[in-house]
Chains A and B, each alone.
Chain A
Amino acid sequence: NAGVTQTPKFQVLKTGQSMTLQCAQDMNHNSMYWYRQDPGMGLRLIYYSASEGTTDKGEVPNGYNVSRLNKREFSLRLESAAPSQTSVYFCASRVGVEKLFFGSGTQLSVL
């Protein structure tokens, strides 16, 4: 039982490049989330998906897109990366509004 798996763990991009962060969970959770964490800013919600087939904007959605591919997978895409998107990204999942489980994070640097 792997829990929440994020890939890649580290990534360096040049400004303007695109990439997709992958997230998969094997706990049959219906809700999935993407957060970014910056120093002194806590965790800020980018997008979330309360159930398969639905996605909603969080606090800081600009510059990102998401896809809930199926119940297990929720990907985050940066179409044209900017230095302001340098951050640590966390994926999380849970059943309904219950206990939240996090992945180990992706460190992204945009040069």
Chain B
Amino acid sequence: GIQVEQSPPDLILQEGANSTLRCNFSDSVNNLQWFHQNPWGQLINLFYIPSGTKQNGRLSATTVATERYSLLYISSSQTTDSGVYFCAWTNQGGKLIFGQGTELSVKP
């Protein structure tokens, strides 16, 4: 089946630092999404990015569909960025598979 792999699995940052999270997928992608799960379990959609680059404030994402990966950049991290970041791959049929997540902890 499709493999969606995220790295690193865990990340600890000091407030103000930058980071890059990676998502590799084993099959051609129709769409790629990034989510943030906050410490209370709520899942928030960050980016819907089948290809190219998008930016939203301190966050940006890039998907290179031909090379089967996506990157999430977090700049000037804040303690509120803590939580788990998931990428999710979608095929044309609508099936949506998540990676195992990167758990981020930002220390003050």
* B41 partner, pick from A58, A88, A92, beta carbons under 8 A: A88
Q: How many A-B residue pairs have CB under 8 A?
A: 54
* A104 partner, pick from B42, B92, B98, B101, beta carbons under 8 A: B42
Closest Cβ neighbor of A31 among chain B residues: B94
* CB of B57 within 8 Å of the partner chain: no
In the complex, how many angstroms separate the beta carbon of B42 from the nearest chain A beta carbon?
Answer: 7
Determine if A100 and B97 form an interchain contact, defined as CB atoms under 8 angstroms apart.
no
- Count B interface residues, CB 8 Å: 23
* A48 partner, pick from B94, B99, B100, beta carbons under 8 A: B94
* CB of B86 within 8 Å of the partner chain: yes
Whole-angstrom CA separation of A44 from B92 in the bound complex? 19
Closest Cβ neighbor of A101 among chain B residues: B45
Determine if B97 and A98 form an interchain contact, defined as CB atoms under 8 angstroms apart.
no
0/1 per residue, A90-111, Cβ < 8 Å to B?
A: 1010001111111011000000
Whole-angstrom CA separation of A43 from B35 in the bound complex? 11
Supplied contacts A41-B100, A101-B45, 10 more A-B pairs, CB within 8 Å: A31-B94, A33-B96, A42-B98, A50-B94, A56-B95, A59-B1, A97-B90, A99-B45, A100-B96, A104-B41
User: Which residues of B come within 8 Å of A, CB atoms?
Assistant: 1, 30-31, 33, 35, 41-43, 45, 48, 86, 88, 90, 92-101
Interchain Cβ contacts under 8 Å between A and B, 28 examples: A33-B96, A35-B98, A40-B100, A41-B100, A42-B98, A42-B101, A43-B98, A44-B98, A45-B96, A45-B97, A45-B98, A48-B95, A48-B96, A50-B94, A56-B95, A58-B95, A59-B97, A88-B41, A90-B43, A96-B94, A97-B30, A97-B31, A97-B94, A98-B48, A99-B45, A99-B48, A100-B33, A105-B41
> Which 4 pairs from chain A and chain B are nearest by CB?
A50-B94, A42-B100, A102-B43, A43-B98
